[in-house]
Each structure stands twice: as C-alpha cells, then as structure tokens.
Structure 1
Amino acid sequence: MSRMFCIPGIIFLFCAFVLSILVSISLPFLPALDIARAHMNGNALINGDTVNEIRFGVWAECTYKDDGSRICGDAGHGYSTSISDTNKDANVIIGSSWTRGLAVHPVATAVTFFALLFSFSSHVTVTLIASVLSFLAALLTLIAFAIDIALYAFLHHEIGKLSAVEGSTDTAPGFWLTFVSLILLLLAGCTVCFGRRRDRMSGASAYPSYPMSSTTGKTPFWKRFRRT
C-alpha cells in the first residue's frame, strides 16, 4: 500500500486499539474507565451500605462512600445491582440484561487487533482484508456504543424514580473513549481503502499502451521510382 496512506492507517488503527482495550478492561480493574455513573449524594442504599456514587463498567459496578472508599462487585459477564433510597420507599434494579451486552467491547478490541496486524502488509489482498476488518471493528464498536447509550439512558430513567435521592447521572470516560475509537476505525478503514485503490491505479499505469505499428510492410507505389 502507498506509504502516504499506509502510515496514517496504521496510526489510526493503533490508537483505536489502545483506546478500545482500555475500555474493555474497565471496572473493577481500571477505576477511572467506567461507562456510566450516578451521583446520589449519600441518600442511596446498595447492598445495605449508604453510598454516594455508583459506577458501571464492562465487568462490574463499583460504589463509593462519602469517605472515598470503594467497593466493587464480583467481576463477571452480565451483572446486576439494586438501588434504593435511605428510607427504603423506592427501589430500582439495573438488571443483567442492560450490562450483558457490554461484552461486545472486548470483541471489537479483538477484531481491531487483527485489522492492525493485517495493515502492516503491503500485499494487495492482505490490505483488502485489513480494510474489511477495520469496518467490521467499526460496526462492532458502533453496536457497543449503542449499548452504552442504552445503559446510560436506562440508568438515568431509573435514578429519576428515586425522588428522595435527588441524584444525577453522567456519561463516563469509557463512554467517550468508545466514541473516539469508532471515529478512528472509520478513518482507518477509509484510509486503507484509498491506499489500495491508489496501488491498483499505479499498477495499471505501469503498463502504458502503445500504438500498433503497421503490419503491411509494403512500400507505396510512387516511392518505388525514387532516385537513389
């Protein structure tokens, strides 16, 4: 692939891979990289403890108390948590059906990794595979981002039911890193496509067409009488 397209494509894929793998690790391993969070001002009960904030990651949720201490649930695929106000007048449940789909993040990371590996090759067929994998990773990242939006919207709706909590919900760093990764993957796929098209055009121009020479080989009649 042409160098002017190869290097940017590799850089886009590498950056997207790094961001995607960070989001995939998420809570409870990387405390700052959650998907959505709710601030409850110390007026909510989770597992019998009064909490100030709860954060939702790919693999687990973590609660924070007023003193800054953190308690995370067991890491796993598709977790759920129950939230109630301190008066126990209302209770909401963030079920596993809203967190199970977050596992699409590591799947998108794996596809991005393979796209990055294929992008180092200069072979036309391999670069085509890299382009296809880049767009496939972008599609999976888009699905993961849609799941993130759904989780945030549901959390916002459920926290609103706890009138005594007077809490608020926000998108978290992992949410926006997923969005940036999506943009980078789209740019990488387009860049690889342009590079492959440029290579095909340059390959075609390497064999220029020449006008066909006359095959008759006969001397015109009037030139036979030319004085030598």
Structure 2
Amino acid sequence: MARIFCIPGIIFLLLALVLSILVTISLPSLHPFDITRVTFLSGLGTISGTPDNVSGQFRFGIWGYCYQTSTTSGFDCVHTGHGYAVTVANQQGGTETVGTSWTRGLAVHAVACVVTGIAFLLSFSEHVTVTLVSSLTAFLAALLTLIAFACDIALLTWTQHQMSQLNISEHTSPGPGFWMTLVTFILLLFAGCTVCFGHRRERYVKGGAGGEYAMGGAPWWRRQQAKVRPAAV
C-alpha cells in the first residue's frame, strides 16, 4: 500500500499501543495508571493487607493495588497478580469486600495489548492480504479493548456500591487507566477504518494509472463505449 494512505492508520495504532502498554503495566509498577481509585476523607478503619493508618487514596490496578498512609507522602504498593480481593472496614467494625471476580477480568487488558501490537506490526506491510489482516486485527483489538473497558466499568460500579455501604466519607472515581482504555478503543476503531479505506483508495489510484481497476473507476458511459468499441485489426 502507498505510504500516504496507511500512515494515519499506523499513527493511530502506535498511539493505541502506547496507551495500551501503559494501562497493562498498571499498578503496582506504574501507580498513576490505576483503573479505580477511592479517596478516603474520614471515618476509615482498615483495609486488608495494609497498615491500620491508611488515609488518602486507595488505587485498584490490574496486578495489584496501592495506598497512602498518614506516615508517608507517597504510595505503598502490593503486587498480588491478577484476581485479588480487598476488604475495607469502617470504624464501627462493618466490612465490605471487592472480590476477585471483579478484578480478575482486568487481565483482558493484557490480551488486547498483544493483539494491538500485532495489528501495529502488520500495518507496515504493503501486501494486500496482510493489509486486510491488519485492519481486521485492529478491529479485533478494539473488541477486546471494549470488553476490558466493560470490566473496568464493572469494577468501578461495584466499588462505588460497596463503599457506599460503609457510611464513611469517601469518593470513588475512575482512574487515568479507565479513560486511557476508552481512548484506546476509539483509536483502534479509527485505525481499522483508516487502513481499510486506505487500501480501497490505493486500488482506485492504481486503476486511474491504467491498471486493471481503471475500468471499474471510470464513469458508466465510458465503460459502455469500451464494450462496443471494435477490436483493432
């Protein structure tokens, strides 16, 4: 494919791949890119697997979680692997749990990242078949990213529900990784469409230069004239 037609698709795929990698690495390696965060304002008791003096924010990631304590200015992180549970208790002894079923699905981010990388590599090819496969792979990556985003929404919604049961002063909100996943999904859709349209445009241009597609891109009256034109003796 002519580079002028596939460059936008490559750029979209590159941006989607970078965002997908950052989200996939996630917590605890990159604690700014969490999926859901809970900001505790007052009334917090304890969180499972953390000291009793947790304050500030608690952040959910794909591979673990991070939290703030009153004795440190930064974050302390715990690497649990995918599928972990968190139990939060208020000062009256009431507890609510965000179970493994709500965090295990976040691993779909890693699968979507791999498929996005494959689509990015295939997009450099000028072979017609490989270009088509690249477009289809980009759409597959978009579907997987959409599934991952649905898992993010489920975690956010359930965490909000559980925190509201504790009757403590808190605010549960989506983290940067949540919105980065949405942007990645949109970029992948643009990438798949751009690569596909670029392929069709290249065929039209080749036809205009006298190739086998020239007749298909000509006006209908010219095609009719070509059909009735007598063969040269």
1:158 to 159, 162, 166: 162
1:39-90 Cα deviation digits (max 9, x unpaired): 11253211351312210001111121134243322330201111011231x1
1:173-201 Cα deviation digits (max 9, x unpaired): 00011111111000000000101111233
Q: Distance in 2 between matches of 1:84 and 1:27?
A: 22
Deviates more, 1:202-211 or 1:127-136: 202-211
* 2:138 pairs with 1:131: no
1:113 to 108, 113, 117: 117
- 2:87 alignment partner in structure 1: 82
Q: Distance in 1 between matches of 2:101 and 2:193?
A: 34
Q: How does 1:30-45 map to 2 (within 5 A)?
A: 30-44=30-44, 45=46
What RMSD over aligned residues (CA atoms) do the two structures have, in Å? Answer: 1.7
Q: How does 1:197-212 map to 2 (within 5 A)?
A: 197-205=200-208, 206-207=211-212, 208=214, 210=226, 212=229
Q: Secondary structure at the match of 1:125?
A: helix
Q: Distance in 1 between matches of 2:105 and 2:15?
A: 23
Q: Which runs of 4+ in 1 moved over 6 A?
A: none
Q: Distance in 2 between matches of 1:103 and 1:75?
A: 13
Q: Distance in 2 between matches of 1:29 and 1:91?
A: 28
* Identity value in percent: 49
- 2:105 alignment partner in structure 1: 101
- 1:24 alignment partner in structure 2: 24
CA positional deviation for 1:156: 0.6
Deviates more, 1:34-43 or 1:19-28: 34-43
Contact 2:67–2:75 at 8 Å: present in 1 too?
Answer: yes
Contact 2:6–2:198 at 8 Å: present in 1 too?
Answer: yes
Q: Secondary structure at the match of 2:169?
A: coil
Larger radius of gyration: 1
Q: Secondary structure at the match of 1:63?
A: strand
* 2:182 pairs with 1:179: yes
**For residue 191 of structure 1, what is the amino acid of its counterpart?**
T
- 2:8 alignment partner in structure 1: 8
- 1:46 alignment partner in structure 2: 47
Q: Runs of 5+ in structure 2 lacking a partner?
A: 216-225
Deviates more, 1:36-45 or 1:19-28: 36-45
Using structure 2 for the length normalisation, give the TM-score: 0.86
Aligned residues: 214
CA positional deviation for 1:159: 0.5
Contact 2:68–2:74 at 8 Å: present in 1 too?
Answer: yes
Using structure 1 for the length normalisation, give the TM-score: 0.88
**For residue 200 of structure 1, what is the amino acid of its counterpart?**
R
Q: Runs of 5+ in structure 1 lacking a partner?
A: 218-228
Q: Secondary structure at the match of 1:76?
A: coil
